[in-house]
Structure 1
Amino acid sequence: MAITARDLSKYYHIYSRPTDRLKQMFFGRRRNFYRDFPAVMGVSFDVGRGETVGIVGRNGSGKSTLLQMICGTLKPTQGSVRVNGRIAALLELGSGFNPEFTGRENVYLNGAILGFSRKEMEQRFDSIAAFADIGEFLDHPVKTYSSGMYVRLAFATAINVDPDILVVDEALAVGDEAFRRKCFARIEQIKNNGATILFVSHSAQTIVQLCSRALLMDRGEVLLEGHPKVVINQYQRLLNVKGEVAEEVRGTIRSMGTDEAFTPPPETGGQAQDTTPSTQEGYDPHLESKSRVVYETRGAEIRDPHIVNTRGQRVNILEVGRTYTYTFRVSFEKEVERVGFGMLINTTKGIGVVGSSTRPVQALHLTSVKAGEEAEVSFMFKCAFTPSSYFINAGVSSPDSEDGEFLHRMLDAVAFHVAPTDGRTSTGIVDIDIVPKAIKLGSESGPSGS
């Protein structure tokens, strides 16, 4: 095992008043003037060599504290953690570098901490400088760096010390888009080279794409460990609730069995039963979503999501190039203003392909709805996907609701299959009618003559 954590916990002392801290110094263990705050409670898990494990959870759930204990920068209150191999970490912004040192000096300092000689770091320095791409700022104190420059240098250093284990916190979120793409490409490369990666992110798609397993943390506990898409679906469900409802959802998630958590969601019922997909538009009653996740209602409820063709017929086998409409009904349980609706088409692995939302366009809002009223929502689209199975989400929200969150949402509400079409050459996910062409040319030198 690369990482083994057993009953790992971290408690902080919380004092109601500053004077209580002084009293504690005098009374010692004879009396406590504080209460314990459990940042992490009883966490146990293993990470095998070569695994990529993602950790998700709301802010304050204990993710960063857990990573710090694994990296050895924070001592656990109880429990143990064992790490086998050289570990390189990119934790919260500001950790690992001396702000008074220049970027160059910090690179050599980090290398020395990891056991590299100065000569070894000199051999790696050009690669670090090229990846960070911060120019002359390498010789300036890092306290003068922007957050983006700091992350560039920290990440470039971490990936160029040949780590057996790479730990990445949400720090990459402060980088610009081009640098993030470069970082994730390098993480994929490190992953393919057999390194172990422990990754924290709020990005559902990143976790699904990179990780073979995921953990859901909440209030310092690991609520769920399992397949990335299963964990992400439950994480998104938990984000949408508060109070007593949140406690019920937490209990439901915690009670999920190992088999349920680790079993990849089946693509579709139809694909499992019929290995010869239809080549024509139609409706297959066996082709249904087996991974639908329905959020708790918060004043509205989505009903009967489905796809129809231009003749109004229900379909779930689509043909490339034809026009379809995704539609659902919403019944309202309370009065709501400025109601918006949305949809998102995903691959079976949970990667978002394309979606639509009425929220940015005020003219598409429902100005006001009353309790007991209904709305019919439709999204017309042209099928431009390569042959495969896909899911569609459905959502209804209002900026006037609590926290501006969803009033209701369904993940993987509808499953559909795009039928194969002879003669089409598109690969990937989207079919944009690419027309390939190849012309044979003569030799470059041409015929010789006198």
Structure 2
Amino acid sequence: MSMQDAASMTAREATDETFAIDISGITKVFNVYRQPLDRLKQALFRGRRNYFTPFTALQNVSFQVRRGETVGIVGRNGSGKSTLLQIVAGLLNATEGSVTVNGRVSALLELGAGFNPAATGRENIYMNGAILGLSQKEIDDRFDDIVAFSGLAEFLDRPVETYSSGMFVRLAFAVAVSVDPEIFIVDEALAVGDEGFQRKCFARIEELKRRGATILFVSHAAGMITQLCDRAVLLDRGEMLMDGSPKAVIASYHKLTHAPPNQFEAVREEIRSDETVQTDANEAHDVQMVPESRTSYVSLGAEIQDPRVETLDGKPVNLLVRGRKYIFRYRVAFTEDREKVLFAMMVKTMQGVLLAGRTTHSIRRHVPDYSAGDVIDVVYEFECNLTPGTYFLNAGVNGLYENERKSLHRIMDAAMFKVLPDDDDTITGMVAMDVVTRVERVGAAG
């Protein structure tokens, strides 16, 4: 079911009234049929013969969410996150285990479901409001606010089937938060909205949190998890590997996603057994973080070797703490004489966006020459002023080759590093600028 579907769920008595959600030993197995006819055969043979392959989406998952707590669920695609939310929201039944929910739930799940495509936006507001347990008068009273939040006033009387995915999200979110839910469940649906509306949604989620609502949501956005959540849960292959502080869970999640295939199982077991490096505020070197996208260009008389990030005292590191100084170092071995040589580096985002770059010399000034057999250490000292996330470093050397300036060697994604989450929620964007802020009263009311 739905991108929204919010049942006004009847409050069930929890074993401990401090818990809004109690998930106990949840296992969910789906029967996967190769073709539609196999479903009919399965029904006719009544279990005497199986025409399906069982798929375990969740396996013995247990955790609790306290009243007023915000918990984020992270994991790779196919880890069971959305299935778990649908079970908590009452849209799916668990194969084994139980879920106890104590409070009125509003859920924003799969995109578009729960809408009548042929009905207008206006009609869908009333239908979805009724699903959420609102009376006609309550919807009337909130109608203008719902429309204003969605920003869809000019499209209200058009059929929903003409809406874009972003418009679906706008309408569904506006209705879902209008009920002032005690428990708000959100899947990754907001990822399809535009940036301005996403900010608006996050602000409303923060408002719900301040009011004491319990929030359970799935997101791949590390910043959102660390900013909004009190706790986080890491799922993988339907199993819960970790339940802890958002920073530690996000660090383990990234360690898992960057693990080479031949070491993935070892990393997974390390996280499960809680032997993984806990990196809330401690720089460290994670040997699993090797860029699979590393690409080395053809050498023209020079070769870049051993690119790496270090602390100022020479310790290898790729889990960085914002505000501290580090070194990006690589070695260049010359196999031929080269003139007017420049060394360079670049910092990029995971999406390949160039954030910064630097060369060792200005081409307008004297640029050194090197001879075959020379080995040069290139060192860039920098202060880490990037916000939490994963970044890549390029290394390059260029000089004169047949009287033209050319790249003598280049390594794309030569090294990668992760800036660890911190508690400063005043910074936005990718770069933490060194800004002095002041708030000054220039007059008095009245």
TM-score normalised by L of structure 1: 0.68
Higher relative contact order (CA 8 A, sep 6+): 2
Give the percent of matched residue pairs that are identical in Structure 1 and Structure 2.
48
Closer, same or farther: CA 412–122 of 1 in aligned 2, 3 Å: closer
Stretch deviating more after TM superposition (96-105 or 124-133): 96-105
Closer, same or farther: CA 374–295 of 1 in aligned 2, 3 Å: farther
CA distance, structure 2, for counterparts of residue 221 and residue 114 of structure 1: 31
CA distance, structure 2, for counterparts of residue 318 and residue 219 of structure 1: 32
Structure 2 residue 438 is the aligned partner of structure 1 residue 431: no
| Aligned-partner SS, 2:117 | coil
TM-score normalised by L of structure 2: 0.68
* Cα deviation, residue 25, structure 1: 3.0
- The answer on whether the counterparts of 1:396 and 1:407 sit within 8 Å (CA) in structure 2 is yes
CA distance, structure 2, for counterparts of residue 129 and residue 392 of structure 1: 35
Closer, same or farther: CA 69–439 of 1 in aligned 2, 3 Å: closer
Structure 1's unaligned 5+ residue stretches are 268-288, 309-315, 333-338, 345-353, 360-372, 399-403, 416-428, 441-450
CA distance, structure 2, for counterparts of residue 375 and residue 37 of structure 1: 53
CA distance, structure 1, for counterparts of residue 394 and residue 190 of structure 2: 29
Give the alignment partner of residue 127 of structure 2, picking from 109, 116, 125.
109
Aligned to 2:329: 329
* Cα deviation, residue 84, structure 1: 0.9
| Aligned-partner SS, 1:342 | strand
CA distance, structure 2, for counterparts of residue 153 and residue 374 of structure 1: 60
Structure 2's unaligned 5+ residue stretches are 1-18, 295-305, 314-319, 333-343, 359-374, 396-410, 423-431
* Cα deviation, residue 438, structure 1: 9.0
* Cα deviation, residue 343, structure 1: 7.4
- The answer on whether the counterparts of 2:105 and 2:184 sit within 8 Å (CA) in structure 1 is yes
- The answer on whether the counterparts of 1:294 and 1:411 sit within 8 Å (CA) in structure 2 is no
Structure 2 residue 413 is the aligned partner of structure 1 residue 411: no
- The answer on whether the counterparts of 2:71 and 2:229 sit within 8 Å (CA) in structure 1 is yes
- The answer on whether the counterparts of 2:23 and 2:63 sit within 8 Å (CA) in structure 1 is yes
* Cα deviation, residue 378, structure 1: 2.6
CA-to-aligned-CA distance 1:282-329 (integer Å, 9 cap, x gap) = xxxxxxx35664534467876451359xxxxxxx9999xxxx974233
Stretch deviating more after TM superposition (190-199 or 88-97): 88-97
CA distance, structure 2, for counterparts of residue 374 and residue 255 of structure 1: 43
CA-to-aligned-CA distance 1:122-164 (integer Å, 9 cap, x gap) = 1011110110011221222211111111101111111110100
Aligned to 1:342: 347
Structure 2 residue 48 is the aligned partner of structure 1 residue 45: no
Taking only aligned residues, the RMSD between alpha carbons, in angstroms, comes to: 4.1
CA distance, structure 1, for counterparts of residue 389 and residue 179 of structure 2: 42
Give the alignment partner of residue 50 of structure 2, picking from 25, 32, 37.
32
* Cα deviation, residue 230, structure 1: 0.4
Give the alignment partner of residue 378 of structure 1, picking from 358, 377, 380.
380
Stretch deviating more after TM superposition (9-18 or 430-439): 430-439
Structure 2 residue 69 is the aligned partner of structure 1 residue 58: no
CA distance, structure 2, for counterparts of residue 170 and residue 392 of structure 1: 19
CA-to-aligned-CA distance 1:156-204 (integer Å, 9 cap, x gap) = 1111101001111111111111111111111111101100011111110
Q: What code does the residue aligned with 2:64 have?
A: D
* Cα deviation, residue 249, structure 1: 0.9
Equivalenced residues, count: 354
CA-to-aligned-CA distance 1:56-90 (integer Å, 9 cap, x gap) = 11111111111111111112222111111111111
Aligned to 1:215: 233
Closer, same or farther: CA 293–54 of 1 in aligned 2, 3 Å: farther
- The answer on whether the counterparts of 1:11 and 1:77 sit within 8 Å (CA) in structure 2 is yes
* Cα deviation, residue 54, structure 1: 0.4
- The answer on whether the counterparts of 1:291 and 1:412 sit within 8 Å (CA) in structure 2 is no
Structure 2 residue 257 is the aligned partner of structure 1 residue 252: no
Closer, same or farther: CA 343–101 of 1 in aligned 2, 3 Å: closer
CA distance, structure 1, for counterparts of residue 167 and residue 309 of structure 2: 49
Choose between structure 1 and 2: higher helix proportion: 1
| Aligned-partner SS, 2:47 | helix
Structure 2 residue 310 is the aligned partner of structure 1 residue 305: yes
